[in-house]
Structure 1
Amino acid sequence: TTGIDWSQFNIAINGILDQQNNIYPTNPAVTYEFTGQAGKYSNLATTVINATFNMTGLLNFLKQSGDVYTLSNPKILTLNNQPAIISIGETLNYNVATNVVITASTAGLAEKTYTPGSVFVGILLNITPEITKENDIILRINPSISELRDPEQASYFGDAGFREIAPDTKEKKLSSVVKVKDGSTLILGGLISNTKNFTINGVPILKDIPLFGNLFGSKKRQNQRFELIFVIRPKVIENGTTEGIGLKDLGFKDLPNHE
């Protein structure tokens, strides 16, 4: 209920963590350098690994706190000091009545003028890299997660056949500036989201009968807690080398080369 215990992260990055917090390394010869803060149950944990990164070790560590899912695995190119944006979610459109006119020609009926709007709900990651003279990389990272306050608003439409008000949303975001070596791996965590679901199952009509409805149906309340983890590996591409770079060089090893 308190989130991931990041103080245990350094012993699980390259092996399997057992119930006694013993580590079984997959490659004992590899050592790792950790920088940044990773406090116990912290709201923000930033760790930089200046070595070959083992994703299996990270997944084994995260599984100690619950189920682990991969939401996205994007690869992007951007110029120096230019932002790169990754978004995962959906855009909810709505129309707001900005002008209501009642005239004799409309027989007393309201004539509305609408202005369209939209709200993004999901995960947004904004990264701006800056390359130093020493070929290090300064990353300005701004991740955010937004969701509906009431999940039913996603499918709510008014009498006009469309959403007439902007849905209520809640947002969590953080901002971090880190300096890493070329090819290092950055792990950023701390965005925690709580979701409450209430579902009713049963026989139609019969489950709604007062007093006896519970005999024909069931009610389920479920609380879920998610922590969003970003694994970022920046790589500097020197001038004159971009022409020969293909999808396989960016990590898409299973895709055919169409160059």
Structure 2
Amino acid sequence: MKKLYIGVMTLVLTLFIFTSPVNSAVPNDEQILEELEFKGAALIDAVRIISELSDVNVVITPGAKEVEVTVFLRHISVKHAIETICRINNLWYRKEDTTNTYRIMTNAEYAQDLVIHRDEETKVFNLNNLNVNLAADAIGNLYGERVKRSNSGERFSTGSGGAGQSSEEGTASKNTISGELSIDQLSSLKTNGLGNNVISASQVQQLFDQQEPIYVTVAEEHNLVLIRTGDRRALEQIGKLIKELDRPVPQVLLEMKILDVLVDDNFSSVFNFDINGVSIQGKSQAPILIGNNPLANSGSFIFEYMNNYLKANIELLQKNKKVNVLSTPMILASNNRTSKLFVGEEQLLVKGYESSDTTTTTNGITTSSSGIIPLTEIEEVGNSIEITPFINMLDGTIRLNIKQENSSIRQAGANISLVNSQGEIKVLSIDTINTARLEGTIIVKDNHTIAVGGLIRETISDDQTKVPFLGDIPFLGNLFKSISDKKQRSELILLITPRLLTSPEDGEFNKNDLTREGKQLSLEDLALQCALLCR
């Protein structure tokens, strides 16, 4: 028999150890200690001796290291020795299978560790349509402070209790307590008396039911959301939530035609339904006006659902060469997302001038000269469309926020005055841009065409008339020709046909039907309808 005496402060620790022969097939914590005695020893010293004798890793938390141990055990395994020490001192232990390490802790520390790490489960959600960051935000908004989100390059902090799963647990506190079990209640078990009573499984389960943290991280490259939590119910709810959110984003295919319609004394607007002096009675007789800032002689923002009479009116204008098709764009727009389209070119415009003075000295003679340098800018000129759709899946209507602009250059459209270094006033021309802008909100049904217009602009150009041959004679030809200002008014019309796409299959269907449907709305086919109406 081997006897060891170790002094700890004013206390005396006596350890008697008899061990059975070492068997390599037996786990270290199953080794038998023949005799073990501690008298008023600090727990930190007791577990160090047990660890050295058995090659079993034992660690204690800061809250438990000052506990004093008095015990006398005979013929007991290392595992049961640790369990007994914890039991009589109102402590808990946890064994980490991955590292074969025992952790001894207080009631409060064990309760916190239990809430954070018991039976945690990690689940990966592969999203097909929803953005992973939006999904993570939705989870955070619903579960509040429980959600611990990790961004790229960050790690989760799991608290002082450490991390890992446990397969074996021990307890020293054995009171039976009625009612719900909280962390504070569990921590106060030591004040409610010790003894041999056992905490029931239902009370421990109540502790399990406390709200546990939910760890969320995302893998943007693969569109994955990773969830780790011990709350299986919350994990199931999150799975249902993601399933509901991960649905295809509704899209709408917008077929458009931008028309420039000439306006003269006999025609005021494409929305005038008088044909050959006869007012056509029928559906949509009164166009809808929006806004309170009308342009001169133009009315306000107007839209009208496409019908046979409006089609006939447009076709008659085309037949009389009063319609110019500026562009026929198609835009595929997602719900609540703005889509933009520009058809045109970047052009260099003269926007101003500045005077430049240059002084040179040659052979002692100084000369100065002045010049004028044009200031130029590059501007986009053409047709631009900006549309934001808001899709109502219940009734199939689409609300469209539309911003459409048509611009053209007017060279030397304005003059400015410039004073040079000599004090002379120079009148110089600059380029300007004629712009027709249309903006408004409309509601249209799926596969219905709507005409948007009411924006009339006026342009002034030089109109030259001359006597043939005589007007071409140099100098004398000016006597046989005249130049006058010609005013021309035109109305910008936008025809829009939205086609709702709720799934990729809808996209295939619309792709096959685009040609057929598009022809029904084309100006060429409208001629046939017009001929039938005019019979």
Q: TM-score range by the shorter chain?
A: 0.5 to 0.7
Q: Which runs of 4+ in 1 moved over 6 A?
A: 31-35, 52-55, 63-66, 95-98, 100-105, 107-110, 113-116
Contact (CA 8 Å) 1:140, 1:178: kept in 2 or not? yes
> What is the match of residue 193 of structure 1?
457
**In 1: Cα distance, 2:399 partner to 2:433 partner:** 32
Partner of 1:143: 404
Give the TM-score taking structure 1 as reference length: 0.63
Greater radius of gyration (CA): 2
Offset of 1:33 from its aligned partner?
Answer: 9.4
* One-letter amino acid of the structure 1 residue matched with residue 277 of structure 2: Q
Matched residue of 2:501: which SS? coil
2:483 to 211, 214, 219: 219
Match for residue 232 of structure 1?
496
| SS in structure 1 at match of 2:447 | coil
SS in 1 for 2:312: helix
1:236, 1:108 → 2: CA distance? 70
Structure-2 change in CA distance of 1:243 and 1:36 (3 Å): closer
C-alpha distance in 2 between matches for 1:44 and 1:66? 24
How far has the Cα of 1:147 moved from its partner?
Answer: 3.4
TM-fit CA distance, 1:191: 1.6
Partners of 1:4 and 1:62 within 8 A in 2: no
Distance 1:144-1:64 versus aligned 2 partners, 3 A rule: same
Aligned AA (2:407): S
What are structure 1's unaligned runs of at least 5 residues?
A: 26-30, 154-164, 255-259
Partner of 2:441: 177
Equivalent residue, structure 2, for 1:3:
268
Q: Answer 1 or 2: higher relative contact order, Cα 8 Å, separation at least 6.
A: 1
Give the distance between the partners of 2:515 and 2:285, measured in 1 at CA: 24
SS in structure 2 of the partner of residue 57 of structure 1? helix
Kindly indicate whether the alpha-carbon contact (under 8 Å) linking 1:4 and 1:65 is maintained by their aligned counterparts in 2.
no
Deviations 1:57-104 (A, max 9, x none): 241575799822322222222222233334344421258899x89798
5+ long unaligned stretches in structure 2: 1-264, 362-366, 414-428, 520-535
Q: Indicate which of 197, 203, 221 corresponds to 2:472.
A: 203
CA shift at 1:243, angstroms? Answer: 5.8
On the 8 A contact 1:3/1:65 being kept in 2, the answer is no
Amino acid at match of 1:67: K
Which residue of the other structure, out of 19, 22, 34, is the alignment partner of 2:277?
19
| Match for residue 127 of structure 1 among 379, 384, 387 | 387
Which structure has more helix as a fraction of its residues?
A: 2
SS at match of 2:513: helix
Partner of 1:159: none
- Alignment check: 8 A CA contact 1:89 1:122 kept: yes
Query: Which structure dedicates a bigger proportion of its chain to strand?
Result: 2
Shift of 1:229: 0.8
Distance 2:381 2:321 in 1: 24
Structure-2 change in CA distance of 1:36 and 1:167 (3 Å):
same
Tell me the distance in 1 between the aligned counterparts of 2:502 and 2:286.
27
Count of aligned pairs: 223
> For residues 84-134 of structure 1, what are the alpha-carbon distances to aligned partners after superposition, in whole Å with 9 as ceiling and x for unaligned?
334344421258899x897989x9889xx9997312233322211121232
Are the equivalent residues in 1 in contact too, given 2:298–2:455 (CA < 8 A)? no
SS, match of residue 331 in structure 2: coil
* Cα 1:90–1:152 shift into 2, 3 Å: farther
8 A Cα contact 2:462 2:483, kept in partner: yes
Residue 161 of structure 1 corresponds to none
